[in-house]
Amino acid sequence: MIQLIRGFKDILPEETGLWQKIEKTAISLFESFGFCEIRLPIIEHTELFARSIGQDTDIVEKEMYTFLNKKDEFITLRPEATASVVRAYIQHRLYAVDPVQKFYTIGPMFRRERPQKGRYRQFYQINAEILGVDSPLADAQLIFMLVELFKRLSVADISIHLNSLGCQQCRPNFKKALQKYLSNTSSTLCSDCERRKINNPLRVLDCKVLSCRETMKDAPSIVEHLCEECSRHFETVKDSLNDLNISFEIDNRLVRGLDYYTRTSFEVQTGSLGAQSAVAGGGRYDKLIESLGGPSQPAIGFAIGFDRLAEILAANNTDVCCKPDLFIAALGEKAKTMALQCSCALGLAGIKTETDFSDKGLKGQMKKADRLGSGHVLIIGENEIVEGLVVLRNMTTKEQVSLPIDGIAENLKSIFAENKKSL
Ligand code: HAM
């Protein structure tokens, strides 16, 4: 028996109803905020990720699925979408008409992390990105939209963690201060942080290993090193979020695992997921477009961990995607042929119909209709066919009515519409 690859998973029909609901809610919300969909390939040149996410990050150092193609070029299954969004913005000169572009994209990402609950090697993200705007008001608007999505999906127990990572002017000073702090401390760091200490000391700040957390307890804080402009930017983000009634926590340890961030960085954390508490993360990447060969344009975005969000909501999920409006129970061969005709006509009329062409008796078919959660059953018997009739049974009230076969689709459509109105 061939099994799934470790760290990968199937999203089964019983879960897809919820996934579709999340997707529809996100799309409708994002489109009301002026975002357009962009669909991108899942494989890119390795260099794109190495140059954007950063050589010294865990993702690039050890988590990418990288292959040599037949032309001896390195290609990589995308570990995230932001780099590809930026590549497309530059490659198609999307900035030429208007540098301000707002995109959303939904799809699978791949990281060779150690699999555990909430952490997969293929996982899905819902991304939203605003390119070409440096105003801190855009940061607040984006975070507002993200929080609204969680609200619309009735996700409780979330908190917004907010930080500023400064810019190319002020971050080097903070980096130096951190390196000085780290060289003066005798405490032990994990082996990863021993390496990061030299190349990427900011990452030591948000290491989850206990000894590193302990070591960093009294580390200098980035906000004390922000230049005037970054400070002002951050103040406006905070003020605007307060004006929009969005609660947040300042978290000076929030560094995030990708090197392209500048200024605002944020994460949505939840208590409902155990160790994998981040359900979404994002921030500004004001220098990324330019560093990949595009115009000097700022940007900000976020990605929601789709699998994690679905896991939070799964406990209360009642959105079954294949629940039919109508089950057709046919008794006898002639009735089955009639059921085929009816099911096709009803399918075309947009009525979600399930038909069982097996030899089950009426009882078996009613049982199946019940199990599928069908609101109605259309019973087709040989005798009724002679009279040109079928029987419609309401599975909730148990009422039955005879209806003519002729015009059944139109008839049922209006009955269902009436039922919906009276609900
Ligand atoms: P990220 O923090 O690496 O950011 O990922 C965003 C979210 O994806 C995480 O908060 C988490 O919910 C989910 N996620 C990450 N790795 C896994 C995994 N192995 N299994 C399940 N879920 C996972 C980014 O990817 C940035 N590109 C976000 C961004 C967009 N920044 C600006 N624009």
Residue 56 Cα to ligand 1 midpoint, Å, equals: 17
Rounded CA separation 322/374 (Å): 10
Residue 14 Cα to ligand 1 midpoint, Å, equals: 25
**Is 199 a residue whose pLDDT tops 90?**
no
In sequence order, which residues have a C-beta less than 8 Å from that of residue 303 and are 6 or more positions away? 80, 81, 82, 125, 126, 127, 280, 281, 282
- Return the residue whose CA atom lies nearest to atom 21 of ligand 1: 119
The reply to whether ligand 1 has any atom less than 6 angstroms from the CB of 269 is no
pLDDT tens digits along 282-305: 999 999 999 999 999 999 999 999
Looking at the domain that runs over 326-412, which CATH code has it been given? 3.40.50.800
Question: Could you tell me the two tokens for 196?
Answer: 């990061």
pLDDT of residue 280: 98
pLDDT tens digits along 329-347: 999 999 999 999 999 999 9
Give the chain's mean pLDDT. Answer: 93
**Is 212 a residue whose pLDDT tops 80?**
yes
- Return the residue whose CA atom lies nearest to atom 13 of ligand 1: 305
The reply to whether ligand 1 has any atom less than 6 angstroms from the CB of 164 is no
Tell me what the mean pLDDT of segment 97-106 comes to.
97
Residue 305 Cα to ligand 1 midpoint, Å, equals: 6
Tell me what the mean pLDDT of segment 118-138 comes to.
97
Rounded CA separation 313/33 (Å): 24
**Is 321 a residue whose pLDDT tops 70?**
no
Question: Could you tell me the two tokens for 11?
Answer: 């999203």
- Structure-derived torsion over alpha carbons of residues 42, 43, 44, 50, reported in degrees to the nearest 10: 90
pLDDT of residue 126: 98
Which CATH entry fits the domain spanning 13-170+226-315: 3.90.1150.10, 3.40.50.300, 3.30.930.10, 3.30.1360.200?
Answer: 3.30.930.10
- Return the residue whose CA atom lies nearest to atom 15 of ligand 1: 305
Q: To test ligand 1's pocket by mutation, which of 123, 272, 300 has the most ligand atoms within 8 angstroms of CB?
A: 123
**CA distances from residue 313 to 27, 266, 402 in whole angstroms, order as listed:** 18, 22, 41
Structural contact between residues 306 and 22, judged by C-beta atoms closer than 8 angstroms: yes
**How is the chain split into domains, by residue range?**
13-170+226-315, 326-412
Q: How confident is the model at residue 319 (pLDDT cuts 50, 70, 90)?
A: low
